[in-house]
Structure 1
Amino acid sequence: MASNVVSSAFRPLVDFVYPPRCPLCGDGIAAGPGLCAACWESFEFPGEPACSLCQTPLPQGGPDSVCRHCIAHPPQHAGIAAAALYNEPARQLVLRFKHGGRIGLAALMGRLMASRLADVPDDSLLVPVPLHRIRLWQRGYNQSALLARAIAMHSGHVVLVDALQRIRATPKLGGLGRARRAEALRGAIRVRASRREDIAGRHVILVDDVLTSGATSTACTVALLGAGAKSVRIACFARVPENETPGTETIPGAA
């Protein structure tokens, strides 16, 4: 509490010396973290009508409408909560956060993600999608873990950073089709043995930055449900609409 008071007291001085700027265009803003008005307007946010299971936008329908893909392949997760749709501004923000070392963006992104989770059970656990230890060493941080912690600051949910393990290094998924993505992740993710009791009987919010084909989230969901999770809800910052999920086309920032 004392540290928050001190931080608030010095905030005006810090903003005077280092004026907050929009992380996308660089224009000055009143306070950070945030975006300028023009960049906010360039974002696309999930709305209705949309698939009730995966949140893919639909041309028409009601609150219980389901997209063709979810009808053909019913998901094992309990729904997707996306903060934004994956357009160019969202892509730029993800790239700067994920590959540009701008880890401070987690606060902004996590706040937007938390706003989409108002209807989840209060005792839900936040579990980030894991990185393999080699990828973690190369990048220096797990962007999903940073987002999970940022969400927890607003939601109060408990974070289990180490609940999932990526036990086998997998290739970058950008440029792979749906089937090859699923094959690459087969057997690569499991629940850590020491966390199985924590997972059993609990609702889980699986946290990731970008959701494309859903291969990674599916592998994580299967592992969590196999460990006894009551349900798994997926929270992502940006959602690639189902009809735009890449086949052999690379989408930077989405792998």
Structure 2
Amino acid sequence: MLTQKQRTLTLLRLIGDLLFPPICTSCGIGIGKPAGLCSSCWSELRFIERPFCDILCLPFSYDPGEGVVSAKAIAHPPPFEKLRSVVLYDDRARRLVSALKYRDRLDLVPLMAAWMVRAGRDIIAESDVVIPVPLHKRHLWQRQFNQSAEIARVIARNSGLNFDPGTLDRVKPTKKQVGLGRNQRRENVRGAFRVAPERYDRVMAKTVLLIDDVFTTGSTVASATKALKRAGAKSVNVLTFARVAAFEM
């Protein structure tokens, strides 16, 4: 038997679906349930599946064997241990990220977080605490929420890990990374993150799962990783929804 509250909520959902029928987040056509994709847009997402570089999650065009890393990871080892991402950052993925970040589509968070838990299950199993890449206070005030923190909150809850959004601070109001070259991006986020000494115990000798929405050149998460390691973190793994990548030959 449904309680009165459950019956009321069910009725409100039905009324809401009638007044505002669910549409595909990417293309806008009608679908069966909210915060989802139509079958066409779903099929166009480029999910990252093995084989890929065990460090940078760069897809291989052939299977070189388990545990093989890419030439990029060998030539330029990142400060973090491993990266995992759900999809390649193409037009469909960009629409999803932009809808969350700039159109306040917080209803997408559970869907994106669930995909990220699946993609990052190996590094989640190694982690002690979930920390999002923070926004600077000025940008947080303008946007009113941090999309990475909202995703990280759900990932932590679904994985049974501690969620700590306050330990890593963004102390430098960086410019947008879009349109900047690799060296400009690296300089833009140099010294941008800090862990206050009184919070070192939150990460000391722990494996941190660092959450962001998109991995491009890696400058942002590299800077954040260095700040966490300076505070005593044993290791840092990175989990993002999307990553920019070409196939590694």
Matched length: 243
AA at the equivalent of 1:209: D
Alignment of 1:40-55 (within 5 A): 40-55=42-57
Alignment of 1:158-237 (within 5 A): 158-237=162-241
Task: Choose which of 219, 237, 245 in structure 2 pairs with 1:241.
Answer: 245
CA distance in 2, matches of 1:180, 1:6: 54
* Preserved CA contact (<8 Å) 1:164 1:191: yes
Residue 50 and residue 163 in structure 1: after superposition, are their counterparts in 2 closer, same or farther (change >3 A)?
Answer: same
Please report the TM-score for the alignment, with normalisation by the length of structure 2: 0.88
When the two chains are superposed, the root-mean-square deviation of aligned CA atoms in Å is 2.4
* Preserved CA contact (<8 Å) 2:84 2:119: yes
What is residue 248 of structure 1 aligned with on the other side?
Answer: none
* Preserved CA contact (<8 Å) 2:59 2:247: no
Alignment of 1:21-60 (within 5 A): 21-60=23-62
* Preserved CA contact (<8 Å) 2:127 2:209: no
AA at the equivalent of 2:223: A
What is residue 75 of structure 2 aligned with on the other side?
Answer: 72
Unaligned 5+ residue runs, structure 1? 245-255
Please say if 1:116 is aligned against 2:119.
Answer: yes
Unaligned 5+ residue runs, structure 2? none
- Deviation track 1:14-64 (CA, whole Å, cap 9, x = no partner) reads 445543222112222222332121111010011222111001112232222
CA distance in 2, matches of 1:224, 1:8: 45
Residue 22 and residue 153 in structure 1: after superposition, are their counterparts in 2 closer, same or farther (change >3 A)?
Answer: farther
AA at the equivalent of 1:45: F
Task: State the SS of the aligned residue for 1:200.
Answer: coil
- Deviation track 1:181-227 (CA, whole Å, cap 9, x = no partner) reads 11111111111333210111211110000000000000011111111
Q: % of aligned pairs identical?
A: 39
What is residue 127 of structure 1 aligned with on the other side?
Answer: 131
Deviates more, 1:98-107 or 1:208-217: 98-107
Task: Choose which of 82, 85, 97 in structure 2 pairs with 1:82.
Answer: 85
Task: State the SS of the aligned residue for 1:104.
Answer: helix
